[in-house]
């Protein structure tokens, strides 16, 4: 665990420059669903464990993302408090991991305004009416 912290600290301390994304975001989206990443990270990367480029340091670069996944595969057995599955190279290839990375960095965490969301308006109106909403 100490080695993982040291390596992650080194990556986070270094100056990270914008880089070209080598993965395919469309393939990455499918892999995000196939590997059930959405079950914790949400469909838009902002679930109970946020994973968007604005909130997660592991999306700073492809190399950091890939290193994190591989170290998780090595370190997770000694850290049972972390529920993220292991993703060693035999489970998720580098190519697949970089496709997922491309999908994640392409996510736009820009939800519509509440006023522009008809379903949310129905819920809000029901709440204002004391729980009696549209019942058809």
Each residue of 27-44: pLDDT tens digit? Answer: 999 999 999 888 888 877
**Residue 133 domain-assigned?**
no
Query: For 53-105, how does the pLDDT look when each residue is reduced to its tens digit (9 = 90+)?
Result: 666 677 888 988 888 888 876 665 555 666 677 788 888 999 999 999 999 98
pLDDT at res. 79: 58
**Residue 13 domain-assigned?**
yes
Note every long-range contact of 32-36, with CB atoms under 8 Å and residues 24 or more positions apart, other chains counting: 32/100, 32/103, 32/104, 35/85, 35/87, 35/92, 35/100
pLDDT at 7 over 50: yes
pLDDT at res. 21: 86
Taking alpha carbons only, the member of 42, 8, 7, 45 closest to residue 25 is 45
Domain tally, the chain: 1
pLDDT at res. 17: 39
The parent domain of residue 85 ranges over: 2-110
**Residue 131 domain-assigned?**
no
Q: Label residue 16 by pLDDT band (50, 70, 90).
A: very low
pLDDT at 112 over 50: yes
**Residue 40 domain-assigned?**
yes
**Residue 51 domain-assigned?**
yes
CATH code of the domain in which 72 resides: 1.10.760
């Amino acid at each position: 665990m100490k080695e993982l912290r040291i390596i992650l600290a080194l990556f986070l301390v270094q100056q990270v420059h914008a880089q070209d994304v080598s993965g395919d975001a469309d393939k990455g989206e499918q892999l995000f669903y196939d590997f059930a990443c959405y079950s914790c990270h949400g469909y838009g990367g902002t679930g109970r464990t946020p994973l968007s480029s604005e909130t997660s340091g592991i999306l700073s670069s492809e190399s950091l993302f890939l290193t994190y996944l591989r170290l998780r595969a090595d370190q997770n057995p000694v850290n049972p408090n972390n529920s993220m599955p292991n993703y060693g190279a035999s489970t998720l290839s580098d190519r697949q991991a970089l496709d997922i990375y491309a999908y994640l960095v392409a996510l736009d965490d820009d939800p519509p305004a509440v006023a522009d969301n008809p379903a949310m308006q129905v819920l809000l109106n029901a709440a204002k009416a004391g729980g009696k909403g549209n019942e058809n």
